[in-house]
Amino acid sequence: MGAIRGDVSSFGDEFRGCMSPDKGALEGLRVSLTGVTGFIGSALLPSLLAAGAQVVGLSRRLDHSALPSQPGLTWAYWDLEDPVSAHSALRNTDCICHLAAYIPHAMNDPTEAEPCLRINALGTLGLLEAAKAAGVEHFVNVSSGQVYARQERPVRETDPAYPSCRATYYLSSKLTGEMYVDHYGDTDTFAAANLRLGSVYGPGMDPATTIYKFIRAALHKRPIRLTGMGQYSIDLVSVEDVVSVILCVLQRRAIGTFNVGSGEATSIEALAREIVRQCGADSSSIEYGPDDPTDAGFSPLNIEKARRVLGYSPTPLVEGLESMISAVSSNERTEAMAPDPGWQK
């Protein structure tokens, strides 16, 4: 299957329906996957296997017996900070899906700039070089849709990227990694794609995240406390949509940069209100703090290119939250039923 070059919009109906690949659509495709045990990776892995792909999980853990074991999945040692480790790990690989990244604990800490650049940018470069040496045919890099200069309208893939206001050290390292991926794609080393994701949510999310905390509070009829008046806005995209896009990009050997979001900005207040409504909680449980009018959040993503090329149609937030609330509720019940670790017969 050759790489798709140029303006793929001319391919028309060939791309319709790609967002729901059939079982076996990736039959025999050998995919090396970084970030397998992360939020998105954990959701992507079963879908890759169900589509027939043979997956090699790239992991820093030397003891692979502690990692998930499934038919069609093998493990190989790889470390973002050790480019040499990738050369042996990528033998017989058709495609790489690069999800792994270093995410700082403190986004505004300038000391985080060095590890961000070393791991996210130079680590990606090392993986690209190893992919070139191994004869990999397709490289899919998962990046951030928050690299754009803020606009009042949804931002397109061709809009300026200038992450200078928030998460600068992290976002600039992701953008540098994208540039490396583009360079290898532009020099015909292999087909290459960058996926700029909105704020991903869904089942399997870290309980420390804002959405999870809001849902847990609403389920237990506790207050939801907003920072400011809740006008900070983000483009929310379900993890299921992200998985579908990745499968489609792999299936079609697509290239270029794609925004993957909802196409709309959702304020934190609107998010909290929808969670409260779905959980049957009282809207008066939402508490506000002093507003910060200078922090408007991030622009929504223009997703027309992904619609046109990949047949992308995002899940409405109302439906995506239903799925996540159900998962969180199930987790809460399971935790409540678990025996006290100090209890003994």
Residue 20 resides in a domain: no
Residue 36 resides in a domain: yes
As a whole number of angstroms, the distance between CA 37 and CA 99 comes to 10
Which one of 17-31, 49-63, 100-114 scores highest in mean pLDDT? 100-114
pLDDT of residue 39: 97
Residue 74 resides in a domain: yes
For the chain, the domain total comes to 1
Residue 341 resides in a domain: no
Q: What is the CATH number of the domain that holds 194?
A: 3.40.50.720
Residue 18 resides in a domain: no
Yes or no: say if 61 and 36 are a contact pair by the CB < 8 Å rule: no
pLDDT of residue 119: 95
Does position 69 have pLDDT exceeding 90, yes or no? no
Residue 193 resides in a domain: yes
Residue 208 resides in a domain: no
pLDDT of residue 337: 55
Domain of residue 151, residue span: 27-202+237-261+302-310
As a whole number of angstroms, the distance between CA 60 and CA 77 comes to 6
Task: Give the strand pairing for 73-77 and 54-59.
Answer: parallel
Range of lowest pLDDT (50-64, 138-152, 261-275, 323-337): 323-337
- Closest by CA to 140, choosing from 79, 89, 218, 197, is 197
pLDDT of residue 19: 60
């700029």: which residue's tokens? 196
Residue 147 resides in a domain: yes
pLDDT of residue 9: 34
